[in-house]
Amino acid sequence: MTTLESVAHLGDELRDQLHQLYVHLHRNPELSMQENRTAELIEERMRALGCETFRCGGTGVVAVLRNGDGPIVGFRADTDALPVQEDTGLDYASTARGTLPDGTDVPVMHACGHDTHVTCAIGAATRLAATPEAWAGTVVFLFQPGEETAAGAKAMVEDGLWDRAPRPEVVYGQHVWAGRSGGVELSTGPAMAMADSWRVTVHGRGGHGSRPEDTIDPVVLAAHMVVRIQSVTSREVPAQAATVVTVATFHAGLKENIIPATAEFTLNVRSLDPAVRERVLAALRRVIAAEAAASAAPEPEIEELYSFPLLVNDPEETASVRAALAAALGEDKVMDRPAQMGSEDFGHLPDAIGVPGVYWFFGGMPDAVVDGGDPVPTNHSPHFAPVLEPTLSTGVRAALAAILSRLGGAR
């Protein structure tokens, strides 16, 4: 039995334990930067494995597993859930509620699979702790909060992460997605897009719906902005440069015969090139200001909500990880993945200390769903429900393959 096979052998008992852990996490999701119970559970599990742990970035947990002299690698798993009402029909579906920063009470669901990530990371740590003869070095497990709001990785770095934890030579991460369970996909170079989110408040002059001439209607004004900004991508960005501009919320007014004084919308911008990003953001500001001026309205307020960095997979390290994944799972289970317009804050962790990072995806959908002919529920859907197996075993095995490729264990 190869070293990887001996380390990655879960056995029925551990597999059952991981299933129970996943079900518990899925039933008990917590919103971004509020992952208190999740952090406590992670600390308990990782300390039981002999890890040194400390809190970082609020509800983040760092767990250091040492096994003599050798390389140091980082492995990240995000922990937060989303304000989504679950509609999977699972017998362990979440009924949890949470409170957003603005005080709004919302349903909470692990609609992006972060419960899977935590389970797989703990599973990988469990097997490493049980087989010290098979590897040497240090693994820094990073249980990161607040990925969904782009707050967590930055918070950990600003809280002195790399001054308090051993500095790795490389940082790995993985994400479950709506692909076929048992397979993995990874990109070389740019892997996930930069993202910028704004809240735009448009000011007008309110009044009676029967006398629009006495008002500056912010609904009409904001509607013109929403339509006009869509032309930025189609008319100001080269066709070869991928960008996405989305307006996802629009709020104004309280009654049908009152023209409100303000309207508000939020927008999200995705891009893969820093220069294109700057060009698009500048164009959006110009269009918003110009539309307001055209209506003799005050200057709109633009609040920058959050920003995700570009996630870049180091080519040399990605080639090494790809080979390890192919050896662990089979060449037919490892597929190339084009750059995605989705975003991740994982890049902050390796970028902060100038080391390479590698990030891959593993499938979570059963064959019957993928081949069923209906649209497959994707991440952030209220119907997103990864099948337990082979999803969890694949995630554990992929994590171990990458880690052991650096710590001298995989062959």
Mean pLDDT value across residues 344-358: 97
pLDDT of 411 reads: 35
Q: Are residue 85 and residue 182 in the same domain, yes or no?
A: yes
Q: Are residue 181 and residue 328 in the same domain, yes or no?
A: yes
Domain CATH for 198: 3.30.70.360
Which tokens in the block code for residue 256?
């049908």
Amino acid, res. 329:
L
Mean pLDDT value across residues 122-148: 97
- β 137-144/60-67 pair status: antiparallel
* Segment 70-89, tens digit of pLDDT: 999 999 999 999 999 999 99
Asked whether residue 362 carries a pLDDT value surpassing 50, the answer given is yes
Q: Are residue 157 and residue 45 in the same domain, yes or no?
A: yes
Tokens 């500095």: give the residue: 167
Q: Are residue 249 and residue 320 in the same domain, yes or no?
A: no
Q: Are residue 212 and residue 175 in the same domain, yes or no?
A: no
Asked whether residue 23 carries a pLDDT value surpassing 80, the answer given is yes
Q: Is 306 a catalytic residue?
A: yes
Domain CATH for 73: 3.40.630.10
Q: Is 28 helix (H, G, I), strand (E, B) or coil?
A: coil
Mean pLDDT value across residues 352-359: 97
Q: Are residue 348 and residue 386 in the same domain, yes or no?
A: yes
pLDDT of 409 reads: 53
Write down which residue in 283, 307, 331 finishes a domain.
307
Give me the domain span that covers residue 69: 3-192+310-407
Rounded-to-integer distance, Cα 398 and Cα 359, Å = 11
**pLDDT-above-90 percentage for the chain:** 94
Confidence of residue 3 (pLDDT cuts 50, 70, 90): confident
pTM of the model: 0.91
Q: Is 1 helix (H, G, I), strand (E, B) or coil?
A: coil
Q: Are residue 29 and residue 126 in the same domain, yes or no?
A: yes
Q: Are residue 264 and residue 345 in the same domain, yes or no?
A: no
Q: Is 92 a catalytic residue?
A: no
Q: How far is CA 247 from its chain centroid?
A: 20
Q: Are residue 150 and residue 198 in the same domain, yes or no?
A: no
Q: Answer yes or no: are the C-beta atoms of 70 and 136 closer than 8 Å.
A: yes
The residues, ordered by sequence, that sit 6+ positions from 207 with a Cβ below 8 Å of its Cβ are 214, 215, 258, 259
Q: Are residue 15 and residue 161 in the same domain, yes or no?
A: yes
| Torsion angle (degrees, nearest 10) of CA 176, 79, 48, 407 | 50
Which tokens in the block code for residue 297?
């309205």
From 306, 317, 331, 344, the catalytic residue: 306
Provide the number of structural domains found in the chain. 2
pLDDT of 2 reads: 65
Mean pLDDT value across residues 187-191: 94
Q: Are residue 113 and residue 26 in the same domain, yes or no?
A: yes
* Segment 193-242, tens digit of pLDDT: 999 999 999 999 999 999 999 999 999 999 999 999 999 999 999 888 88
| Helix H or strand E segment including 303 | strand 301-308
